[in-house]
Amino acid sequence: MGTEKEKESAPPTDFKMTRLVIEAGKVFAWPLLIGCLVVVYHHPLRGVMESLALKFSEASKVSIGSLTVEVQAKARESGNPELAAQVGALSPSEVLELLHTPRGNGGMNLVSVGHTLLGKREYGLPKPDVMKALDGLEQKQFIRFQQDLKTYEADISRLRPDHHIGDDSFDWFVAVDPEGSAADRRFSEQNYSFTDLGREAANAIAKAVAAELSPPCGSRGSIP
């Protein structure tokens, strides 16, 4: 679940366009979904982002635009009209973690496993803001954990913390049990996966954002 930060120099037009999208995100909740999807799929959407920046700069502050309508439409297509309301109750952080969850049958590992400078095994637990989002998704029955999340968090927090300077993604804890033991596997193999409802929600959001990003009238773009 780690991230890589890349710094690129951008011409003034790109900077202005980016600022428009950021400012729009301060006003709208739904437009943040578009940013989430762009991050998840790593697709070069320069032309689409320019059109979105223009759309957001002209949008009314009392309206959330057509994306909500698109989500409602996609939810109705799935045969679950209540889905739109459930998705609308998600926070931006919950939406991001929902879109990060693999859509296949496999689960998403919760922790990262590494070693201290002295060679001791350690577990990296996502930062509290991510854990809060994942907890919210579980309470809304969009994801399920292999082990009870509250019990797992309480147990891992009893381990000795190991502070990694500059690590903004994980809180690290030093293992006390031998690698490969039942206790070690319990900590290292905790994972979560979609429920059927969560998969429907993620698909509805992805389809709605894809429809919103599609160029009007002419050729239609695609998101992988």
Q: In this structure, what are the phi and psi dihedrals at residue 143, rounded to the nearest 5 degrees? A: -135, 160
50, pLDDT greater than 80: no
User: How is the chain split into domains, by residue range?
Assistant: 12-91+200-213, 108-196
pLDDT-above-70 percentage for the chain: 62
Say if residue 1's pLDDT is above 60: no
Q: What band does 188 get if pLDDT is binned at 50, 70 and 90?
A: very high
Residue range 16-29: mean pLDDT, rounded? 47
Give the three-state DSSP class for 49: helix
Kindly report the number of other CB atoms within 10 A of residue 181's CB atom. 12
Whole-number pLDDT of residue 137? 96
More confident residue, 175 or 9: 175
Q: Give the pTM.
A: 0.66
Residue 44's pLDDT band, with cuts at 50, 70 and 90, is: very low
Across all residues in the chain, what is the average pLDDT? 74
pLDDT of residue 181: 95
Give the SS3 label for residue 164: coil
Higher-confidence position of 82 and 94: 94
Query: In 3D, which of 53, 66, 181, 172 has the Cα closest to residue 124?
Result: 172
**Per-residue pLDDT, 86:** 85
pLDDT of 148-170, one tens digit each?
999 999 999 999 999 887 788 99
Residue bearing the bigger pLDDT, 203 or 109: 109
Q: Please give the residue that has the higher pLDDT: either 134 or 80.
A: 134
- Of these ranges, 28-32, 161-165, 185-189, the one predicted with the greatest mean pLDDT is 185-189
Q: What is the DSSP string of 77-140?
A: HTT-TTHHHHHHT--HHHHHHHHHS-SSSS-EE--EEEE-TTS-EEEEEEPHHHHHHHHHHHHT
pLDDT higher than threshold 70 for residue 178: yes
**Confidence at residue 130, expressed as pLDDT on a 0 to 100 scale:** 96
pLDDT category of residue 37 using cuts at 50, 70 and 90: low
Q: Confidence class of residue 36 from pLDDT cuts 50, 70 and 90?
A: low
What pLDDT does 165 receive? 72
